[in-house]
Amino acid sequence: MTYNKNFIIHNNSDETVLVDLKGEFHGIVRLNQVGAEMVELLSDGKTSEDIVDIMLSRYDVDRTVLEGDLNRLVSELLRVGALYE
């Protein structure tokens, strides 16, 4: 999967959002802290397996829960065009 560089990651004190600069997706994607970290790793070219391993080293969470969360995020990012295959 490749991160679509037309989507910028905007962080402020309260939240992280993805904004499509080309305007093909009419909306924003709001992310919590964990989602924002996952998107940063995706945008750096990390694989899903890499991301799970990195996040497991940062958080005390079950692998299957983390994999499910990442899969849901990836599905949403594919749907809005922030990721493509």
Q: What is the pTM of this model?
A: 0.90
Beta-bridged to residue 16, according to DSSP, are: 11, 31
**The total number of structural domains that make up the chain:** 1
pLDDT in tens, 5-56: 999 999 988 889 999 998 788 888 999 999 999 999 999 999 999 999 999 9
71: its two tokens = 């899969």
- Give me the CATH number covering residue 26: 1.10.10
31: Cβ contacts below 8 Å, ≥ 6 apart? 15, 16, 17, 18, 39
Domain with 40 in it = 2-84
For residue 20, which of 36, 4, 31 has the smallest C-alpha distance? 4
> Are 6 and 22 contacting, i.e. CB atoms less than 8 angstroms apart?
yes
